[in-house]
Chain A
Amino acid sequence: MADDGAARQLDKEILSPKPGIQSPAEGGGDFQPRIVGFLCNWCSYAGADLAGVTRLKMPPSMVAIRVMCSSRVDPLFVLKAFLAGADGVLVAGCHPGDCHYQTGNYYTRRRFALTLKVLEELGLEANRVRLSWVSASEGGRFAEVVTEFTETIRKAGPNPAKTEVFL
């Protein structure tokens, strides 16, 4: 989201329904969660890739946005995705201690705590955001995180912000 292109990408990815999935405003049937995942380049994105090439089974619910480090994720990114109607937002990076830039993910954790706390305080479904650590070699773990999170979101239902007109 550092430039216009990425900002547009985010809105478009969330808004444009994948083939076979209709937006709720258009009276779509089964609820298919759309999750935006901010994945750090060095660990979680590579982990996602590994999950892909090893053909692990997971729901096709995630739109991945690659960031160079999980600490790049400003709480506003999460907020923007949330208000754009993402049903869930995942922030994922290297395990603490393993950040490519040494300490980035310790800051990520602080920011994420802030992100979550504000949502909680304002009564805004904090269960729709999640912070997970996934290393480059943990393809299996990545698939698990996505599967599990998708289930949580499926239970929670669509993000009401998706149909809000007066935001």
Chain B
Amino acid sequence: MTGATIQAKNGVNGAVSAVLKSLKDSGCVDAVLVPTRVKSGETFVYLLIRNPKMLDSCAPLPPVMPVQGARALQSLTRHGKVEQTVLCVMRPCEVRASIELAKRRQVDLENVLFMSLDCPGALRTRDYVNDPEALDKRYQGILNNWEGDGLRPTCETCVHFSCEDVPVDLHVGLVGTKEEEAVIIGVSKRGEELLDKAGIECSEDVSAWQVEVEKARDKKAGNRSKVVSELKDKAAGMDNLGLLFADCINCHNCMRVCPICYCRQCFFDSSDQVRLRAEDYFAKAQARGGIRFPGDMMQFHLGRIYHMGLSCVGCGACEDGCPMDVPVSQVFAFAGDEVQKTFDYVPGRSTDEPIPTLTYEEDELHEYEDA
């Protein structure tokens, strides 16, 4: 693999926005979809930018991820493909979620290019809005040392923070690079062409960066197995699960911010599917002595694991959006890991891999059936 060193004296965001500008100026990109700080300064949103000047103030790697990028891309292509080329600058988990949505025909990838960056994780959005300045500083520290406090719990254990198994066109390497420097790599053929047209010559060997990525991944993988096995013990069984979800107020925020949950009418919001009549609730209460209201809390959470555990990219958006600090994404991470392994499936790895429940082999999984 080869790439080019870019100077990051004004931080990663400055360096990458300069690259974005030259890509835009070269004419091979018509628009850029990229996070940008809002005027109040407290948070970030995605902007679809056509005016190159506005790229000056974009933030390709913001300290937080208030909106999952796949959601932004989904809104953009809701009515079908974009006619002009758009470059989406996203964290790796946002790219992977976009791929999963494309498989579900909720995103159209034609004319869409992806650029990702090595991601050290995202800080909790609620913490950030309370003190953006202090958290900006903290994030700078995290970028320098590749660790620090206040990250989303799932980010601490994320092994897909770089571009391996993430189908991007361009990638910005940050792990272990010299301070004030980053590397840019054309990962796909199209990515290489883009850099070429923008006059960015990619002839440097980047194996030093690759080695650092491996090291960082090993460390995160270690974290992951530790955290997963701890949580697994804590969550096992109906009683424990009940405790884990006990604080849930049924706001369904976790579902609404999840990039993978796309149904316009959610099963769990549909009165026909899950709501019963008063007399049925009475019967239930009679049989159990009493029942909880609002009901179906467990059905909602376990049901979501069923519906999207296979595609969960572990972005942590659900947990970040939860007002009650329910460890939703952590439960998803460990339940999801196992089902994904059963089908040897890595969500977001490739558009060519069908979602496991939408395909089959005739001769398989005999341990689950009784013939």
> B-contacting residues of A (Cβ < 8 Å)?
1, 3-4, 7-8, 11-12, 15-16, 23, 25-26, 74-76, 79-80, 83, 85, 95-97, 103, 106-107, 109-118, 120-124, 130-133, 145, 160-167
A161 cross-chain contacts in B, Cβ below 8 A: 238
Once A115-B306, A133-B371, A167-B299 are accepted as A-B contacts, the answer to whether A123 and B240 lie under 8 Å apart by CB is: yes
Q: List 16 A-B contacts (CB under 8 A).
A: A8-B276, A8-B280, A16-B283, A23-B287, A79-B299, A83-B302, A97-B362, A116-B368, A117-B342, A118-B302, A123-B235, A132-B369, A164-B242, A164-B288, A167-B292, A167-B295
Q: Tell which of B237, B295, B310, B370 touches A123, judged by Cβ atoms closer than 8 Å.
A: B237
Q: Tell which of A1, A118, A131 touches B368, judged by Cβ atoms closer than 8 Å.
A: A131
B237:A109 contact, CB within 8 angstroms:
no
Once A96-B362, A116-B368 are accepted as A-B contacts, the answer to whether A83 and B298 lie under 8 Å apart by CB is: yes
A165:B283 contact, CB within 8 angstroms:
no
Query: Measured between alpha carbons, how far is A1 from B272 in the docked complex, in Å?
Result: 9
Query: Measured between alpha carbons, how far is A161 from B241 in the docked complex, in Å?
Result: 12
Asked if B189 is at the interface of the complex by the 8 Å CB criterion, the answer is no
Once A96-B362, A164-B238 are accepted as A-B contacts, the answer to whether A7 and B272 lie under 8 Å apart by CB is: yes
> A-contacting residues of B (Cβ < 8 Å)?
232, 235-238, 240-242, 246, 267, 272-274, 276-277, 280, 283-284, 287-292, 295-299, 302-303, 305-307, 309-310, 334-335, 338-339, 342-343, 356-362, 364-365, 368-371
With both beta carbons as reference points, the residue of chain B lying nearest to A96 in the complex is identified as B362
Q: Tell which of A8, A15, A110, A164 touches B357, judged by Cβ atoms closer than 8 Å.
A: A110
With both beta carbons as reference points, the residue of chain B lying nearest to A78 in the complex is identified as B306
Q: How far is the CB of B231 from chain A (nearest CB, A)?
A: 11
Query: Measured between alpha carbons, how far is A109 from B235 in the docked complex, in Å?
Result: 27
Q: Tell which of B339, B342, B362, B368 touches A106, judged by Cβ atoms closer than 8 Å.
A: B362
A114:B287 contact, CB within 8 angstroms:
no
B358 cross-chain contacts in A, Cβ below 8 A: 107
Residue of B287, B292, B361 with most partner-chain A CB within 10 A:
B287
A15:B335 contact, CB within 8 angstroms:
no
Q: Tell which of A95, A113, A165 touches B292, judged by Cβ atoms closer than 8 Å.
A: A165
